[in-house]
Amino acid sequence: MSTTTTLATRDQQVIWHPYTQMKTAALPIPIVKGEGALLYAEDGKTYVDAVASWWVNLHGHAHPYIAQKVAEQLQTLEHVIFAGFTHPAAITLAERLIQLLPQGQSRIFYSDNGSTAVEVALKMAIQYWQNKGIARRKIIAFRNSYHGDTFGAMAVSARSAFTAPFWSYLFEVCFIDVPIPGNEDQTLKQLEAYAHEGDVAAFIYEPLVLGTAGMVMYNPEVLDQLLAICQQHDILTIADEVMTGFGRTGRTFASDYLQLQPDMVTLSKGLTGGTMALGATSCNEKIYEAFLSDDKRKTLFHGHSYTGNPVACAAGLASLDLLLLEETKQQIDHIRQRHAAFSKKFRYQPKVLEVRQRGTILAVEFEAEGTSYFNKLGDTIYSFALEQGVILRPLGNIIYVIPPYCITDPQLDQVYLTLQGMQQLITGERYFEPPTQTTLHD
Ligand SMILES: Cc1ncc(COP(=O)(O)O)c(C=O)c1O
């Protein structure tokens, strides 16, 4: 029996994997090493991590600089209770995040992941109104959004197959449509209507790109209009930058494309460059001050055992060092340009409904002929990509690429060739190279 079989079968005996139907899932692929954008399987095969390991990895796997900083922290202080105590890594990371975040953010509350960062933001928003003695209960969110898997985060996420077993346990949310191009007026009207009804505590949104919904994209102008309505009606705003943060959209935060700024921001995923689990919720002084009181009941009673973990904060600091390097900025822009060149050609291929791009995020939507058929096809194209040595996880009929910023040109070529191969598999038609001097619209 090979070691690979042993690892995978040992896994099968004891592990329950996320988002996996354990009855029918293929054996997991044991990964024994990572370097740059590559993952090395135990059987010697390599994979280009074109999904940045669930959108967390920024600078490549097992980055030596992050590893060194984490090791130093581990030898100094691995953890300390974060109520009543503090430490340099948490303070410095908060100081640096506040410098980078959209203007006005002045406090950082740490937690463990994206879902908990969202829970904290929702609790801050709800309690803000209670602390002020004002009755405001409603939360507004985009209909197709995804904010995480804990109960509050599920409540503000789409009522989808993911959340169906729990619907009756989720608090009520006012959903508005995503303002994709052409839909803007409708969404603005829906928000206006809720705002006029009153009683709205907060609006939570994924800025510019809804990840799990299928990399659904909309423009900064309409988000600014939505935020303006919220400001007019004193509705608190929460930008969920868990996926979009740290350069993914081409700017440090998606909120950097906007004129107006949110009251709160949620962060995770790229916060540690993909090294450690860490979540952060930032807020402005207005929110923070509503919790200051001689009455202890106005405290934000939330915390996790590992809140502000020093090792995770050290990874965050190291990742920020790398993110702010000129060469990382150039690399982000290079990926953006390469994606743009690929989209220009790929959007005219048969059965390609749309190619969307914002910064380093690329999504291809194929024409779907019924969901069940397509779900089956999703499995086929996922396996096809793996055979090509590329990790791409389709979201239904949508395939997306979110690479680590260190991805090389030959690795990007491999990803694009795999997308072309998928298209061929779906349509049965060969990829055609559109003429370079073309009258087709950009
Ligand atoms: C926008 C957004 N918010 C929150 C989350 C939840 O993050 P986590 O998986 O770390 O709990 C995700 C995860 O994909 C996300 O995309």
Distance CA 41, CA 4 (A): 8
**Catalytic pick from 47, 194, 218, 240?**
240
Ligand 1 centroid from CA 147, angstroms: 5
Q: Whose CA is nearest to atom 9 of ligand 1?
A: 114
Ligand 1 centroid from CA 268, angstroms: 8
Locate the ligand 1 atom nearest the alpha carbon of residue 113 and give its number.
Answer: 10
Ligand 1 centroid from CA 117, angstroms: 9
CATH of domain 66-323: 3.40.640.10
Mutate to test the pocket of ligand 1, among 110, 113, 142, 147 (most ligand atoms within 8 A of CB): 147
Domain covering 3-62+325-427 assigned CATH 3.90.1150.10 in the classification: yes
Q: Is 146 known to be catalytic?
A: yes
Q: Does 146 appear as a known binding residue? A: yes
Q: Does 393 appear as a known binding residue? A: yes
Q: What is the pLDDT of residue 379?
A: 83
**Catalytic pick from 19, 294, 295, 442?**
19
Q: Choose among 50, 1, 49, 52: nearest CA to 27.
A: 1
The residue ranges of every structural domain in the chain are 3-62+325-427, 66-323
Q: Does 167 appear as a known binding residue? A: no
Q: Is 33 known to be catalytic?
A: no
Q: Is 138 known to be catalytic?
A: no
Q: What is the pLDDT of residue 433?
A: 77
- Tens of pLDDT along the chain (442 residues) come to 455 468 999 999 999 999 999 999 999 999 999 999 999 999 999 999 999 999 999 999 999 999 999 999 999 999 999 999 999 999 999 999 999 999 999 999 999 999 999 999 999 999 999 999 999 999 999 999 999 999 999 999 999 999 999 999 999 999 999 999 999 999 999 999 999 998 999 999 999 999 999 999 999 999 999 999 999 999 999 999 999 999 999 999 999 999 999 999 999 999 999 999 999 999 999 999 999 999 999 999 999 999 999 999 999 999 999 999 999 999 999 999 999 999 999 999 988 999 999 999 999 998 876 554 456 778 888 999 999 999 999 988 899 999 999 999 999 999 999 999 998 888 877 777 776 644 444 3
**Catalytic pick from 69, 138, 269, 345?**
269
Q: What is the pLDDT of residue 437?
A: 47
156, two tokens: 């503000």
Q: Does 269 appear as a known binding residue? A: yes
Ligand 1 centroid from CA 326, angstroms: 28
Locate the ligand 1 atom nearest the alpha carbon of residue 116 and give its number.
Answer: 11
**Catalytic pick from 47, 128, 146, 194?**
146
Q: What is the pLDDT of residue 3?
A: 52
Q: Is 416 known to be catalytic?
A: no
Kindly list the protein residues whose Cβ atom lies closer than 6 A to any atom of ligand 1: 113-115, 118, 146-148, 206, 211-212, 240, 242-243, 268
Locate the ligand 1 atom nearest the alpha carbon of residue 268 and give its number.
Answer: 10
pTM score, whole prediction: 0.96
